[in-house]
């Protein structure tokens, strides 16, 4: 893959040509970004040299020299991938009633659940599918997801035991059922563990994540965090809502103090109406998020230890080296249905877990149809064919390939169709501005995993000072 970075330009000599590069103000005192939206080629130029840079010179020369390569890379990333992961939902049920959950309440109260034989049968079919196209030596990923997957603990642990050499396993859990023996089982087998926690104390965390009777679960999560201390394969997802925005900085301090290696600060997915009731306003979310990211930077500088905010690191990587990105929400088409898909407890396949409450997006059933056929079903093609350049308002946006206008499920449910924007346009814009400011100031590496660019080929070094 290529590092899609560029040195600052002092401008060029050739004038009078119409430039393919669009200026994008990043709120930096001395620099502005210029972007060619289709290839995601970008550069940082001094504001006083902008018109010269747009007219010609080294920046445009580099663009013209590399545009075809970048275009091909983007095309491959957007349309040439095959699935390498599955979000495996063994149960629709959950012992919590979180305020922004995308799974409808009747399903979470008393929905379907797979038994052990069904989990094993599903894994065998998935293995057969992935074996057909995954490169030798690379294992596909199965992430047990929910609702709460540990309600099917016996079945999924049998699956991990039987298929540990054929998949890389992960588990996303609310931590309430993560006892000592479950943690030993998972950590001894190198299973990735994702925990959900929305605040640094019960007063904040329990506002959004509660049992059906209203009791909070903060203490359970903290016990699990303490037990996982030192295990490299875990992370914490914090969903940003109106309820915790004033506490995000405290939240990253809390996670850093517990030596959590990576976290995510996710926007609320507004697919279901209830989630829209707790979503934060774009500008307030952006402000609190950037303040929290700045705090992670200070903590790194004073302690030498990083708390990587993975969803933000992914945006930086999307800018620096698009094909190295790891998460697939901030690109269009998004990863749903093309780099991964989701399995529901009745065997139906959906492009992403976010669609599981929307029956129109079931592409077919794993136990009755070949997976290749399901991935080509109209329900999947609606998602895999959603292109940001076709979305009104995004069609002229210079940063559309660093954003992708997520999420198609919420665009469909909340804004009247897949062809509309998702819920957080201004937040995504601010996030990209901040990422480019960090690059302009040479601070971006501090927000990334060490070794994030192993295997990348730099096209040129960043020299944006």
Q: Given the rule CB under 6 A, which residues bind ligand SF4? A: 269, 328-329, 334-336, 352, 354, 388, 393-394, 397, 399-400, 403, 405-409, 421, 425, 428-429
Characterize the bridge pairing of strands 85-88 and 340-343.
parallel
Among residues 3, 4, 7, 2, the alpha carbon closest in space to that of 440 is found at: 7
CB atoms within 10 A of CB 316: 23
Which residue, 40 or 307, has its beta carbon nearer to ligand SF4? 40
Which residue, 3 or 397, has its beta carbon nearer to ligand SF4? 397
Q: Least distance in Å: CB of 407 to ligand SF4?
A: 3
Q: Least distance in Å: CB of 340 to ligand SF4?
A: 8
Which residue, 83 or 200, has its beta carbon nearer to ligand SF4? 83
Which residue, 209 or 421, has its beta carbon nearer to ligand SF4? 421
Which residue, 28 or 421, has its beta carbon nearer to ligand SF4? 421
Q: Least distance in Å: CB of 140 to ligand SF4?
A: 17
Q: Least distance in Å: CB of 393 to ligand SF4?
A: 5
Which residue, 208 or 271, has its beta carbon nearer to ligand SF4? 271
**Which letter does DSSP use for residue 19 in this model?**
P
| Alpha-carbon gap, residue 293 to 29, rounded angstroms | 20
Q: Least distance in Å: CB of 354 to ligand SF4?
A: 4
Q: Least distance in Å: CB of 398 to ligand SF4?
A: 8
Which residue, 60 or 103, has its beta carbon nearer to ligand SF4? 103
Q: Which H/E stretch holds residue 154?
A: helix 153-163
Q: Least distance in Å: CB of 214 to ligand SF4?
A: 28
> Cα dist. 412→312, 363, 387, 417, 423 in Å?
25, 17, 14, 4, 11
How would you classify residue 137: left for phi > 0, otherwise alpha for psi between -120 and 50, otherwise beta?
Answer: left
Q: Least distance in Å: CB of 389 to ligand SF4?
A: 9
The tokens describing 30, both together, are 């001395």
Among residues 112, 191, 119, the alpha carbon closest in space to that of 156 is found at: 119
Q: Least distance in Å: CB of 63 to ligand SF4?
A: 20
DSSP class per residue in 111-133: --B--HHHHHHHHHHHHHHHHTT
Q: Least distance in Å: CB of 399 to ligand SF4?
A: 6
The tokens describing 444, both together, are 């971006």
Which residue, 34 or 399, has its beta carbon nearer to ligand SF4? 399
On whether the CB atoms of residues 60 and 19 are closer than 8 A, the answer is yes
On whether the CB atoms of residues 322 and 81 are closer than 8 A, the answer is no
DSSP class per residue in 304-359: S---EEHHHHHHHHHHH-GGG----SSSSS-SBTTTEEEE-TTSEEESSGGGTT-G
On whether the CB atoms of residues 332 and 405 are closer than 8 A, the answer is yes
Q: Least distance in Å: CB of 166 to ligand SF4?
A: 24
| Alpha-carbon gap, residue 118 to 105, rounded angstroms | 24
Which residue, 249 or 314, has its beta carbon nearer to ligand SF4? 314
DSSP class per residue in 85-112: EEEE--BS--SB--TT-SS-HHHHHH--
Which residue, 225 or 352, has its beta carbon nearer to ligand SF4? 352
Q: Least distance in Å: CB of 298 to ligand SF4?
A: 28
Which residue, 218 or 424, has its beta carbon nearer to ligand SF4? 424
Taking CB atoms within 8 Å and a gap of at least 24, the contacts of 27-34 are 27/433, 27/437, 28/436, 28/437, 28/440, 28/441, 30/440, 31/440, 31/464, 33/398, 33/436, 34/59
How far is C-alpha 264 from the geometric centre of its chain's CA atoms? 9
**Which letter does DSSP use for residue 9 in this model?**
B
Which residue, 254 or 424, has its beta carbon nearer to ligand SF4? 424
């Amino acid at each position: 893959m290529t590092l899609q970075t560029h040195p600052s330009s002092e401008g060029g000599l050739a004038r009078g040509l119409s430039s393919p590069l669009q200026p994008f103000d990043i709120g930096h005192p001395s620099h502005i970004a210029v972007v060619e939206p289709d290839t995601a080629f970008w550069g940082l130029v001094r504001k006083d040299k902008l018109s010269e840079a747009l007219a010609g010179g080294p920046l445009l020369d580099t663009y013209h020299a590399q545009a075809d390569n970048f275009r091909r890379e983007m095309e491959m990333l957007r349309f040439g991938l095959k699935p390498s992961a599955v979000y495996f939902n063994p149960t629709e049920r959950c012992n919590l009633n979180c305020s922004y959950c995308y799974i409808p309440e009747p399903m979470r109260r008393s929905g379907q659940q797979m038994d052990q034989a069904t989990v094993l049968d599903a894994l065998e079919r998935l293995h057969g599918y992935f074996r057909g196209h995954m490169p030798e030596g690379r294992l596909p990923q199965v992430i047990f997801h929910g609702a709460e997957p540990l309600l099917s603990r016996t079945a999924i642990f049998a699956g991990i035991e039987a298929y540990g050499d054929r998949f890389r396993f992960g588990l996303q859990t609310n931590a309430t059922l993560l006892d000592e023996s479950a943690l030993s089982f998972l950590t001894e087998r190198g299973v990735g563990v994702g925990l959900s926690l929305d605040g640094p104390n019960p007063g904040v965390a329990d506002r959004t994540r509660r049992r059906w009777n209203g009791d909070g679960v903060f203490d359970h999560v903290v016990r699990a965090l303490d037990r996982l201390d030192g295990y490299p394969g875990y992370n914490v997802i914090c969903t940003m809502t109106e309820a915790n925005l004033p506490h995000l900085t405290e939240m990253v301090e809390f996670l850093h103090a517990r030596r959590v290696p990576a976290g995510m600060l996710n926007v609320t997915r507004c697919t279901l109406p209830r989630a829209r009731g707790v979503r934060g306003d774009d500008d307030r979310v952006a402000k609190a998020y950037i303040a929290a990211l700045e705090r992670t930077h200070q903590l790194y500088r004073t302690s030498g230890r990083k708390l990587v905010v993975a969803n933000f690191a992914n945006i930086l990587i999307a800018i620096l080296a698009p094909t190295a990105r790891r998460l697939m929400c901030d690109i269009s088409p998004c990863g749903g249905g093309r780099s991964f898909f989701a399995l529901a407890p009745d065997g139906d396949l959906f492009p992403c877990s976010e669609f599981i409450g929307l029956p129109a997006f079931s592409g077919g059933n794993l136990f009755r149809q070949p997976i290749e056929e399901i991935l080509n079903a109209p329900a999947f093609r609606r998602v895999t064919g959603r292109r940001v350049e076709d979305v009104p308002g995004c069609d002229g946006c210079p940063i559309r390939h660093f954003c992708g206008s997520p999420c198609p499920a919420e665009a469909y449910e909340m804004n009247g169709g897949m062809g509309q924007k998702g819920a957080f346009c201004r937040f995504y814009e601010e996030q990209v501005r901040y990422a480019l400011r960090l690059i302009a100031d040479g601070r971006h590496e501090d927000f990334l995993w060490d070794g994030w660019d192993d295997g990348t080929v730099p096209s040129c070094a960043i020299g944006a000072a």
